[in-house]
Each structure stands twice: as structure tokens, then as C-alpha cells.
Structure 1
Amino acid sequence: MNSFLTTLRAAGLIVAGGVAAAILFALLGSLLVAAGIVLAVAVVAGGLHFLIFGRGKMKVHVERYQASPGGYEMIDITPPRPPRRPRNGEAA
């Protein structure tokens, strides 16, 4: 009889743990779904606001980097140096 009660207690704990896990999963899942809906609504509202009113009042000044003041790139015209030591098969 003692063994039967121990087994019944273990089964009860497993069932209670399963019910608690299911409730927790449902609660967290519903919170994730609610957060996704809020995020989607915010994105759509921001897009509509941009389409209707255009850009906001914030003005951002962006400077573009130029390599040289005239806008021309420098080209290296230095002739190549001869090798320091002769290659295989070449006379020194």
C-alpha cells in the first residue's frame, strides 16, 4: 500500500508540473503574440505617418567624404623597382 501511495504521489506531481508548464507556456505565448501585434501596429502607423506627413522635423546634416579637394583621385605613376635578387635561371 505504501508503494502504491508513493507511485500515486509521483504521478500527481508529474501531472501538476505538466499543468503548470502548460499554463506558463500559454501565458508566455500570449505575451509574445501581444508584443508582436503591438510592434506590427507601430510599424504600420509609422509608415502611414511617413507617407502622409513626410519626414519629421529633425534635419540631419550629412557630409560626404572626398579623397581630394578637387574630387580627383591620385594615381601612382612611380615606375616599378627592379627585384633585389635575381630570379631562378636569370643572370645577375
Structure 2
Amino acid sequence: MNRLLNTFRAALILIVGGIAAVALFTLLGSLLVAVGIFIAVSVVAGGLYFLLFGRGKVVVRTSSPSGHDMIDITPPRPPRRPH
């Protein structure tokens, strides 16, 4: 009798674990779908806003943050030999 109860207990644990796993994956899957739809709608809305209203005010820096311009220190290439 004790063996039979242990078997039923193990089966019950497996069934409850399976139901919990299905519920968890269902909830996580639906959350992932909802996040994906939100991102897609945000990207489309941002693109339409950009097309309709343009960029707006964007400040572009033309020099480096330290105030020094970059200097190219790459050595010159040797001339190619004629064939």
C-alpha cells in the first residue's frame, strides 16, 4: 500500500509540474509576443513621425570633445613599381 501511495504521489508531482510548466511557458510566450508587438508598433510610429515631421533640432559637433582635431599619422605608402 505504501508503494502504491508513493507511485501516486510521484505521478501527481509530475502532473502538477507539467501543468505549472505549461502555464509558465504560456505566460512568458504571451509576454514575449506582447513586447515584440510593442517594439514593432513603436518602430513604425517613429518612422512615420520622422517622415511626417522631419528630424527636429539635432546638434552636430564638428570637432572632437577635447577640442583638438585628429591628425593622420599613417606613414605614406611607398610608390608602386612599374611593371
Of all paired residues, the percent bearing the same amino acid is 55
**Cα distance 1:76–1:19, how it changes in 2: closer, same or farther (>3 A)?**
closer
Unmatched runs of 5 consecutive residues or more in structure 2: 64-68, 79-83
Deviation of 1:65 (Å): 5.2
**Cα distance 1:75–1:15, how it changes in 2: closer, same or farther (>3 A)?**
closer
Q: Once superposed, which parts of structure 1, at least 4 consecutive aligned residues long, lie more than 6 Å away? A: none
Deviation of 1:62 (Å): 3.1
Write the distance in 2 (CA, Å) between the matches of 1:3 and 1:44: 61
Superposition map of 1:11-26 within 5 A = 11-26=11-26
Unmatched runs of 5 consecutive residues or more in structure 1: 68-73, 78-92
Structure with greater helix share of residues: 2
- TM-score, with structure 2 as normaliser: 0.73
Of structures 1 and 2, the larger Rg is shown by 1
Backbone CA RMSD of aligned residues? 2.6
Q: How many residue pairs align between the two structures?
A: 73
